[in-house]
Amino acid sequence: MDRMNHGTVKRQLKYCVGIGASAGGVEALQELFRNMPLDTGASFIVVQHLSPDSVSMMDKILQKSVKMPVRLAEENMELRPNEIYLNIPGMMLEVESGRLHLSPVQDRVQRYAPINQMLNSLASDKNIHTIAVILSGSGSDGTIGIGSVKENGGTIIVQKPLEAQYASMPQSAISTGLVDLTETVCRIGLAIRDYLKNPNNQYLHYDDGVENQELAGYYNQIIDAISKYSDIDFSAYKPNTIYRRIERRIAIHKFTCIEDYMDHLLASPEEKGLLCSDLLVGV
């Protein structure tokens, strides 16, 4: 983008959460903001795949679920803390110098990736720390964008594919190995709040491995299997690292549940080796 900086804008915003959603995203967004604390201090930008000829009612739908102000994006609109901004049909949304900018959709056939475009623009704003959130959706939009966010020091959170109505977008994001946290939608808001209270933490919390004993059992079996295969005690590794790498392998294979992945891993020496390699590279 080549636009003038708005030097008169009073910059109060330090954090921005860029959220991408497609198919199945309405329900995910309602659940996300229903459980989002009101005092994070961040601005929230939501980009969905919208038909260019439709009339968006998303602001009214979301406003029923949340107490934060919900606004449809307008050209040159200033971002403010604790407010939600939505993209509108037929327009691409970008951020520059803490303001929203709109441009007409040029080509929906060859490369329509409004989530990537929004995240790329956020990542380039050096005055804002970006948290990218990828929710339910088909396709892979957002995957390139999270790469830009991560490259510029941002944080990546993805809805658990097993929970998403459409798992393609979450799975594609996870397969990059760049994701900091996979979480259920209802708990993403708390993770964002806790992170912003102490952004110097290198790891976001991954609590399900502790609280869900059945899920923890599957993880422990996987860790035990690869430890025996490699003669390396992976139980001593950081749990967050192990969980993220297992989630990545599940996404790569497009399994719909951890049980299926565990069965595959137990029967495949090759998969054990690949997971071990992922862990050794990532630690």
Positions annotated as catalytic residues are 22, 49, 141
Token pair recorded at residue 46: 């939501």
How far apart CA 255 and CA 218 sit, in angstroms, is 14
| Run of H or E residues at 13 | none
Cα atoms found within 13 Å of the Cα of residue 17, Cβ hemisphere only: 29
Please measure the distance between the N-terminal and C-terminal CA atoms of the chain and give it in whole angstroms: 37
Contact 163, 184 (CB under 8 A): yes
How far apart CA 137 and CA 65 sit, in angstroms, is 21
Contact 211, 190 (CB under 8 A): no
